[in-house]
């Protein structure tokens, strides 16, 4: 019985040491498998991930160059001049639906002043494979004034996260087997504690992998929609008329101000003059 307990604790110790070897550092030269003999995995077996863009990870954690499909996050920015901004935003939303995408955000504003009109912004997510078709379709809505596309290669991070996730899942399975072999409360608590840590890392890596898959599978398109600015050709007549009206209004304002200031002074001078005349007449009498 003592040998059994000793054997179990050796297994647990080795699993903890192996777990410590799988940190969060991303390095293409770092091994993603623990070196412990008791919890080691068959390094001759190649781990194959089944997804839309599959790749293979070799025993040293590096991706085989002949089997890797690049993982790219694509983002496009487009500016379009249209006749009616709200209608154009609705049309872009319909285009996203047509290509199995969706609207991430949308807003519309009113522009005041001499160039009064409306403008808006909309962000849509569409399958990366349909990006070119979507951009061509949006070009029919109006005049495209600018267009740019950027691609961010996340292949290395994707491979690293996938390999570490696979490794942790194997650790979780092995710890579950050790838990079934545990016979004392201390052993059970120790194994369950390690299982909790591994499960937390698995959930974190799963969330990151889901995020990468979403960004890779769906391209992001940011669209700036605006209406043409009003341009009038008046050969200066409109400006001259406007200046004349402003000058006339300014003159009227000046006259009103002058009258408002002069009237009290005239009244005051008149009263003083009348009083002086009356006083002078009395003196002469």
Give me 17's structure tokens: 């040491």
> How is residue 76 annotated by DSSP?
E
| Residue 106 CB neighbour total at 10 angstroms | 16
> Looking at the chain, which residues constitute the CATH 3.30.70 domain(s)?
72-154+220-226
| CB neighbours of residue 219 within 10 Å | 25
Chain-centre distance for alpha carbon 2: 58
CATH class of 72-154+220-226: alpha beta
Biggest distance spanned by C-alpha atoms of the chain: 147
Render pLDDT for 128-167 as a digit per residue (tens, 0 to 9).
999 999 999 999 999 999 999 999 999 999 999 999 999 9
pLDDT of residue 235: 54
Positions in the chain whose pLDDT score sits under 70: 1-68, 113-115, 230-241, 285
What pTM value is reported for the model? 0.57
Distance from C-alpha of 15 to C-alpha of 181, rounded to nearest angstrom: 14
CB 215 within 8 A of CB 71: no
Which phi and psi (to 5°) does residue 238 adopt?
Answer: -65, -45
pLDDT the model gives residue 42: 34
Cα(23)–Cα(205) distance, integer angstroms: 12
What does the pLDDT read at residue 26?
39
According to the model, what pLDDT value does residue 48 have? Answer: 36
pLDDT of residue 30: 37
pLDDT of residue 285: 62
Q: Crossing angle for the helix pair 131-139 and 85-98, nearest 10 degrees?
A: 150
Structure tokens at 196: 């909790």
How many whole angstroms separate alpha carbon 269 and alpha carbon 275?
10
């Amino acid at each position: 019985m003592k040998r059994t307990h000793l054997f179990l604790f050796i297994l647990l110790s080795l699993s903890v040491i192996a777990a410590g070897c799988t940190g969060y550092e991303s390095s293409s030269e770092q091994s993603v498998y623990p070196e412990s003999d008791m919890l080691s995995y068959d390094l001759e077996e190649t781990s194959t991930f089944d997804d839309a863009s599959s790749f293979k990870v070799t025993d040293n954690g590096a991706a085989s160059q002949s089997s890797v499909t690049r993982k790219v996050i694509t983002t496009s920015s487009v500016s379009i001049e249209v006749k009616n901004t709200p209608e154009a935003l609705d049309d872009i939303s319909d285009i996203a639906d047509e290509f199995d995408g969706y609207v991430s955000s949308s807003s519309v504003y009113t522009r005041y002043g001499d160039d009064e009109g409306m403008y808006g912004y909309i962000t849509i997510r569409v399958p990366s494979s349909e990006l070119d078709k979507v951009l061509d379709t949006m070009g029919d809505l109006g005049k495209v004034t600018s267009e740019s596309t950027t691609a961010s290669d996340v292949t290395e991070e994707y491979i690293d996260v996938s390999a570490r996730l696979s490794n942790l899942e194997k650790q979780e399975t092995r710890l579950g087997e050790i838990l079934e072999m545990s016979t004392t409360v201390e052993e059970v608590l120790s194994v369950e504690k390690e299982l909790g840590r591994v499960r937390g890392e698995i959930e974190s890596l799963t969330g990151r992998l889901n995020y990468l898959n979403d960004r890779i599978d769906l391209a992001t398109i940011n669209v700036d929609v605006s209406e043409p600015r009003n341009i009038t050709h008046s050969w200066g007549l409109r400006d001259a008329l406007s200046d004349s009206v402003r000058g006339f209004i300014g003159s009227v304002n000046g006259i009103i101000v002058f009258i408002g200031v002069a009237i009290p002074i005239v009244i005051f001078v008149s009263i003083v003059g009348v009083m002086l005349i009356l006083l002078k007449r009395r003196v002469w009498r």
